Structure 1
Amino acid sequence: MDAVVNGEGLTQASAARALASACSQVGLDSQCVDLLRLGENAIYALPSEGVVVRVARAATEDIKRKVVKELAISRWLASQDFPAVRTRDELPQPVRAEGRLVTFWEYVPPSQVDPDVVDLAGLLRDLHALPRPDFPLPVLDPFPIMRRRLALAQGIERQDVEFLTEACDRSESAFRSIMADDAGGLIHGDAHRGNLLARNGQVLLIDYEAVAIGPRAWDLIPTATAVDRFGLSPTDYTAFCRTYSWNVTDWHGYEALRAVRELGMTTWLMQNSQSGPAAAEFALRMDSLRKEDRERRWHAL
């Protein structure tokens, strides 16, 4: 029976069932599989097949639009010779399995050298210089997905959900004002080092779920915030700014957009924070947000 219809969230168990079903449909062997990430999607590597499998949270119309957009962006970036991970278009895309949408991507083996923030800055500079694609893209709007996460929250204290809901309400007005002043251009939408891969000396930009039209500052704020939140050295941040040729912290809208991005990071973590390290980290983030402590160190999970 459909796990999504039954209200089961995207867990390791439900994602694994969708993975097995989707791979069976397209003729892939899913016996030797590595779970790379479980968050908004479940990401699996099948090294023996040379494939990465992305299992979306559901197969609703809004998620279907995102999945179709991801595939279109990947193909368009390939046409622009932009260094990005490609789809496995010899396989059906997307496949519906266990009430979820599943897509297939090229597998990039682990590299001995991790990409750094200078690599990220260079890719963002080049991405932001590209023309707009010749197909429609959504305008940046992080609030619907945050509110959906809050509406579906399970195992989270009611006061935490209420606080985050009110924080979204407070932040949205400033966000809308910025968007009215600066519609911007093509942005990645979730730009951080975790969305970089290295292959044969080349760094690739991955994960196109949040690609949109919006202020380019949106892509720079995660690295700026990482100095306070995740221990990025000021020297590394200076190198990032030098490569991109702009320090977003000097921009008038920085604090407002930073607040929205931190709400996004916290509601993302909330989805899998019922126990263990994620629960402890969620509690830490909630405490810092309540106290408006902008320098409290967070931990990437």
Structure 2
Amino acid sequence: MGTEEPPAEAEGEPGPPFTEGRARALLAAAGERAGTGEAELLALGENAVFALRAARETGEPAVVRVGRGPWQRERAARELRVAAWLEERGVPAVRAALPGVAVVDGHPLTYWRRLPDPVRAATPADLAELLRLVHALPAPPFPLPRRGLLSGVERWLRLAGGAVPAEDAAWLRTRRDEYEAAVARLTPVVPPGPAHGDALPRNVHVGPGGPLLLDLETFCDDMREHDLTVLVLSLDRYGLPVREYEEFVRGYGWDVREWPGCTVLKGARETASCAWVAQHAPGNPAARREFGRRVASLREGDAAVRWHAF
């Protein structure tokens, strides 16, 4: 099991609801054949991710990522630069199918090579293998942002509006401020540098050539412990089996729980993940229930409450 991990992003004003229909309309406006038989929706989160039978420009199968709004344009361009840099450094990762970012009605679109079907599901051990490679890299020849783990909280709560209790939203804002200050005071053990930023097995694809990294949009230059704490949250809140976590630790070579700062980073991630699900609350009863479960467990300090991946 895993968890959705809210990505770092700049603030942006809400636009039209970002639904599958809206994303397909943007695809069509880009000149792609956007019908369900031509574009298969793979994911709908911070991006809508579609598998295209044939991209208009190349005629080859591709995956296109449609960003939620204009604030993601810079991040999309950086993701392409990261992919090219990882290729130069020999790190197995997804590769771009087309250079540059297409922009449709303010939304960024990027095109990626279609991967072969996976030979098996990715495991935490696969993730550990890739993180060891990433964490051995020097800084790239272009700037990477800090992780900004809590930077999206205000926008997610604003998108939630009246669908979540005002007192819960206010409490989360206060908790965010406290954790931002606490994270800024941390001293890492692993030398800081390039990190994936959303280190989950779901962001690893195991094809015939072995595991490779997906979703490069959260690459950052920060404490590498950010990458290692994600699976601690998966273990404690989402039911990741202890055996799989232990395999991750053996593969990476160190258990981040030995670091006193792990508790702080985990608390920051819990805060962000709680706010992240709030944005889906309007019109979605399941999201409202999950938000209620998460915020109640945090307010009551009940670490035994398991969260549902959303």
Residue among 29, 34, 46 paired with 1:30: 34
Question: What's the offset of the Cα at 1:291?
Answer: 1.2
Match status 1:55 vs 2:61: no
Residues 66 and 181 of structure 1: CA distance in aligned 2, closer, same or farther (over 3 Å): same
Paired with 2:236 and 2:176, the residues of 1 have a C-alpha distance of 21
Which residue does 1:86 correspond to in 2? 95
Structure 2, unpaired ranges of 5+: 1-11, 55-59
Residues 30 and 109 of structure 1: CA distance in aligned 2, closer, same or farther (over 3 Å): farther
Residue among 67, 75, 89 paired with 2:76: 67
1:80 is matched by which residue type in structure 2? R
Question: What's the offset of the Cα at 1:182?
Answer: 7.8
- Contact 2:15/2:69, CA 8 A, preserved across alignment: no
After TM superposition, the structure 1 stretch with the greater mean CA deviation from structure 2, 203-212 or 260-269, is 260-269
| TM-score normalized by the length of structure 2 | 0.87
Which residue does 1:146 correspond to in 2? 153
- Contact 2:119/2:207, CA 8 A, preserved across alignment: no
2:146 is matched by which residue type in structure 1? V
Residues 173 and 236 of structure 1: CA distance in aligned 2, closer, same or farther (over 3 Å): same
SS of corresponding position for 1:289: helix
SS of corresponding position for 1:213: strand
Match status 1:120 vs 2:131: no
Residues 216 and 181 of structure 1: CA distance in aligned 2, closer, same or farther (over 3 Å): closer
| TM-score normalized by the length of structure 1 | 0.89
Question: What's the offset of the Cα at 1:156?
Answer: 2.9
Question: What's the offset of the Cα at 1:19?
Answer: 2.0
Question: What's the offset of the Cα at 1:6?
Answer: 8.1
Match status 1:246 vs 2:254: yes
Residues 5 and 133 of structure 1: CA distance in aligned 2, closer, same or farther (over 3 Å): closer
Which residue does 1:278 correspond to in 2? 287
- Contact 2:96/2:113, CA 8 A, preserved across alignment: yes
Residues 20 and 157 of structure 1: CA distance in aligned 2, closer, same or farther (over 3 Å): farther
RCO comparison, higher one (Cα < 8 Å, 6+):
2
Q: How does 1:1-301 map to 2 (within 5 A)?
A: 7-22=15-30, 24=31, 28-31=32-35, 32-48=38-54, 49-60=60-71, 63-89=72-98, 93-154=100-161, 155-178=163-186, 184-274=192-282, 275-301=284-310
RMSD: 2.1
Paired with 1:190 and 1:282, the residues of 2 have a C-alpha distance of 21
Structure 1, unpaired ranges of 5+: none
Question: What's the offset of the Cα at 1:248?
Answer: 0.5
Deviations 1:36-56 (A, max 9, x none): 221211111114542111111
After TM superposition, the structure 1 stretch with the greater mean CA deviation from structure 2, 251-260 or 46-55, is 46-55
Deviations 1:249-294 (A, max 9, x none): 1101000000111122222222223314333322211221111222
- Contact 2:191/2:224, CA 8 A, preserved across alignment: no
- Contact 2:229/2:266, CA 8 A, preserved across alignment: yes
SS of corresponding position for 2:206: strand
Question: What's the offset of the Cα at 1:180?
Answer: 8.8
Deviations 1:113-137 (A, max 9, x none): 1010000111111110112111111
Indicate the structure with greater helix content.
1
SS of corresponding position for 1:152: helix
Question: What's the offset of the Cα at 1:244?
Answer: 0.4
Residues 127 and 182 of structure 1: CA distance in aligned 2, closer, same or farther (over 3 Å): closer
> Identical aligned pairs, as a percentage?
35
Could you list the runs of 4 or more consecutive aligned residues of structure 1 that deviate by over 6 angstroms after TM superposition? 179-183
- Contact 2:195/2:222, CA 8 A, preserved across alignment: yes
Count residues in correspondence: 290
Deviations 1:33-85 (A, max 9, x none): 2222212111111145421111111113xx22211111100111111121100
Question: What's the offset of the Cα at 1:176?
Answer: 0.8
Paired with 2:307 and 2:21, the residues of 1 have a C-alpha distance of 28
Paired with 1:292 and 1:209, the residues of 2 have a C-alpha distance of 32
After TM superposition, the structure 1 stretch with the greater mean CA deviation from structure 2, 77-86 or 177-186, is 177-186
Question: What's the offset of the Cα at 1:88?
Answer: 1.0
